[in-house]
Amino acid sequence: MENAGGQTLVKLWDSKLTLYKREDSTYWWACFYYKRKQIRTSTKCTELEPAKNFASTWFFQRQAEIANGVIPAPRARHFAAAADKAVAAY
């Protein structure tokens, strides 16, 4: 485990999957990169071993979805997405 910028990091699967825990958080988070986009989720686990199991399962499910053509959707946080939602609601 390494400590970087107030986070505890654990690398899994040849550093393709990262588990991290922020100083102010009780939960472990898992993330990986796909086409330069960070895909992440909370493990909702406070202990490392259950978090590793959850993260590994989640990682392989996401990799299977990518292989089958179901691309993980990045969160739309740009003006065009907000404008489309506003026009649809109007």
pLDDT at 81: 75
Structure pTM? Answer: 0.72
**Nearest-angstrom CA–CA distance, 51 and 63:** 18
Q: Give which of 1, 15, 18, 8 is closest to 55, Cα–Cα.
A: 18
Question: Any residues with CB less than 8 A from the CB of 76 and at least 6 apart, and which?
Answer: 82
16-34 pLDDT, tens per residue?
Answer: 999 999 888 899 999 999 9
pLDDT at 8: 83
40-82 pLDDT, tens per residue?
Answer: 999 999 999 999 999 999 999 999 999 998 876 655 567 777 7
